[in-house]
Structures are given as structure tokens and as C-alpha cells.
Structure 1
Amino acid sequence: MATSRDILLDWLRNAHAMEVQAEEMFKSQARRIEHYPPLRERIERHLIETREQQAMLAQCLKQLGAEPSALKEIGARFMAMGQSLFQVASTDEVVKGAVLACSFKHMEIAVYRALAAAAKTAGENDVVRICETILPQEQAMADWLDQHLPELVEQYLVRAELPSVSAKR
């Protein structure tokens, strides 16, 4: 029978892999964005946070006598690659990327809330503290995307109607 600590460790590994996926997804998006500098700049800033989040989660696992799952990380990288290929093949790549990023951020928010509750139940206060550090970062990125998505869509549509202008990315 799994204990709350066992489940917490599994969820921490999942969260670490999720941040690996986020890093790969955002690196790919940032490299490809050409005509939407505010979006690229915000993604690049969040990439720094994402790498720090990975390090914090790895430290939590280490403190609990565990380590990230290489298998889960490989799966996360493949998922990010698939997402990237889907976007690249789209004529509205920048919009699809922003929508995907927005939904991914909201998923991360839910994950960190659940992880904090699990850590509290398992009596792992350091993990609770880390989740409470990461959560506002994810909320800030989600809020930024939520606020700027309509403007991004408008810019995309205007560019799409102009002759000899690329809107895709």
C-alpha cells in the first residue's frame, strides 16, 4: 500500500518532468517567434523561472532521498517535441503556441496546488514552501498570457491580411 509520502514522491517526479516539458516547449516557441517581441521576451523570462523550478523540485526529491525520473523526463521531452511539431505545421503557429502555453500554465497551477496539499498532508513543510514559491510564478505567467492573448490574436489577424507579411510567427 502506498503511503502519502510515496505518492508525494511520484507527484514530485511528475512535476519535475512537467517543468522539463515546459522548458522544451518554451525554448522552441521563443526560438521561432519573430514578429511578436513582447511574447518572446516574456517567454524568455519565464524560461529562467522554469529552470529554477526544475532545480527546486530536484532539490525536494534529493532531500526526500529520491531523484527525478529519467523515463518521465524523456516522455516529457517527446510530448514537447510533438507540441512543437504541431505548432510549426500550423499557419497560425504563434496563436496556437500562446493558447497551448496558456492552458499549460493553468494545468501547472492546479498541479502545484495539489502538490502543496499532498506535501502538507505528508508533513513535508519544505515541499509546501517550494510549491508556494513556484505557484505565484506560474500564476503570473498565466495572467500575462490571459491578458495579452486578445492583443496577440488581433496582431496576428492584422498581419495575416497584409500582403507579403508573415503572421505565422
Structure 2
Amino acid sequence: MSDDKTRDIFITGLKNAHAMENQALSIMKPQVKRIENYPDVAAKLEEHIRETEGQISRLVEILTSLAEENSSLKDAALSFTGSMAALGHTVAGDEILKNSMANFAFEHFEIAAYRSLITIAELGGFAAMVNPLQANLDEEIAMAAWLEDNLRPTTIKFANLKEAGMSAKI
């Protein structure tokens, strides 16, 4: 593979990652605004929103260092789909559970995306960009682990609230 083709793959991956992180924000921000009975989930989402904003900044720095910019079209398209996904769960009686499952799946998508992007960075000789990408990956792995660890307690709380006839609203 020529250096130009590897660079193109890397740039495309960076632009995709930037759009993916904007999509993540468009999913998490509406969720956190609706949470009433799960303060631990709200706090973690707020923390991860701040991390995601930092991830976007790291991606912009990498793109800028390569004399590239994010794709506004990709950002807009994925932000829109993220907003629609978040909106779709609002009508569900078990919104908190659906959001927890969807967030868990999305975190794993991000993990796979960063692992692939780091591999391309290594193959393409972009060693200086591996550390910021690894920082993003580490944050995604930590969030996925938190979601996994908290799915059971969140589900139990949801079931207990429903069983007690209380609002289990997210």
C-alpha cells in the first residue's frame, strides 16, 4: 500500500471518528436532560460528555496537524441520526434500559473504531498521533466497562421502581 493511500485511509478514519464523537454527543445530551431517577447514570453521562468533547478536540488537533479538517457533512449526518436514535427511545416505557443497552453497544463501536484507527496510524507512520488516539480509546473502554458494571443495578432499580408503582422514568 502506498503512503498516500494509507494517509487517505487515516484521514478518512479521523473524519469518521470526529463525526462519530459528534453523534455520541447528540445521543448523550438529550438522555442526560431526561434522567430523573438515576443520578449515578446522569453523573456518568455528564462526565463522558466532557470526555467526548475532549476527544473531539484531540481529533481536531490531529486533523489540523495533517492540514485537514473534519467533514461537516458527516458530522451533521451522524449528529442527526444520533438525535433520532435518542428521540426514538423516549417513547419506550423502559427508556433507561434501552438507553443503557444502546450506549453500551455504541461504546463498543467506538472502541473498535479507535483500535482500527490506531492500527492505521501505526501502519502509516503516524506514530505521534497514536497517544491521543489511545487516550480516546482508553476513555471509551472505561465508559463501556462502567456501563457493563451498571447495567444490572440500573435494571434492578428500574424493576423495583415499577414494582412499587413508582415512576421509573429515566
- Following TM superposition, the consecutive aligned residue runs of length 4 or more in structure 1 with deviations greater than 4 angstroms are none
Alignment of 1:148-167 (within 5 A): 148-163=150-165, 165-167=166-168
Q: 1:81 and 1:107 mapped to 2: Cα distance?
A: 17
Q: 1:167 and 1:127 mapped to 2: Cα distance?
A: 44
Q: Which residue among 97, 100, 103 is the counterpart of 1:101?
A: 103
For 1:51, the equivalent position in structure 2 comes to 53
Q: 2:169 and 2:43 mapped to 1: Cα distance?
A: 17
Per chain length, whose mean CA-contact separation is higher, i.e. which structure has more relative contact order (CA < 8 Å, sep 6+)? Answer: 2
SS at match of 2:144: helix
In the alignment, structure 1 segments of 5+ residues that lack a partner are none
Deviation at 1:125, TM superposition (A): 1.3
Q: Which residue among 60, 63, 78 is the counterpart of 2:62?
A: 60
Note the alpha carbon deviations across 1:130-162, whole angstroms, 9 max, x for none.
111111111110000000101100110111122
Note the alpha carbon deviations across 1:7-31, whole angstroms, 9 max, x for none.
1100100000000011111111110
Deviation at 1:168, TM superposition (A): 2.8
Q: 2:83 and 2:19 mapped to 1: Cα distance?
A: 14
SS at match of 2:125: coil
Q: Which amino acid aligns with 2:168?
A: A
In the alignment, structure 2 segments of 5+ residues that lack a partner are none
- Is residue 60–residue 126 contact of structure 1 (8 Å, CA) maintained in 2? no
- Kindly tell me the number of residue pairs found equivalent between the two proteins: 168
Q: Which residue among 81, 86, 89 is the counterpart of 1:87?
A: 89
For 2:74, the equivalent position in structure 1 comes to 72
Q: What is the CA RMSD across the aligned residues, in angstroms?
A: 1.1
Q: 1:135 and 1:77 mapped to 2: Cα distance?
A: 20
- Is residue 22–residue 80 contact of structure 1 (8 Å, CA) maintained in 2? yes
Alignment of 1:10-29 (within 5 A): 10-29=12-31
Q: 1:104 and 1:87 mapped to 2: Cα distance?
A: 15
Q: Which amino acid aligns with 1:48?
A: R
Q: 2:128 and 2:33 mapped to 1: Cα distance?
A: 35
Q: Which amino acid aligns with 2:131?
A: R
- Is residue 26–residue 80 contact of structure 2 (8 Å, CA) maintained in 1? no
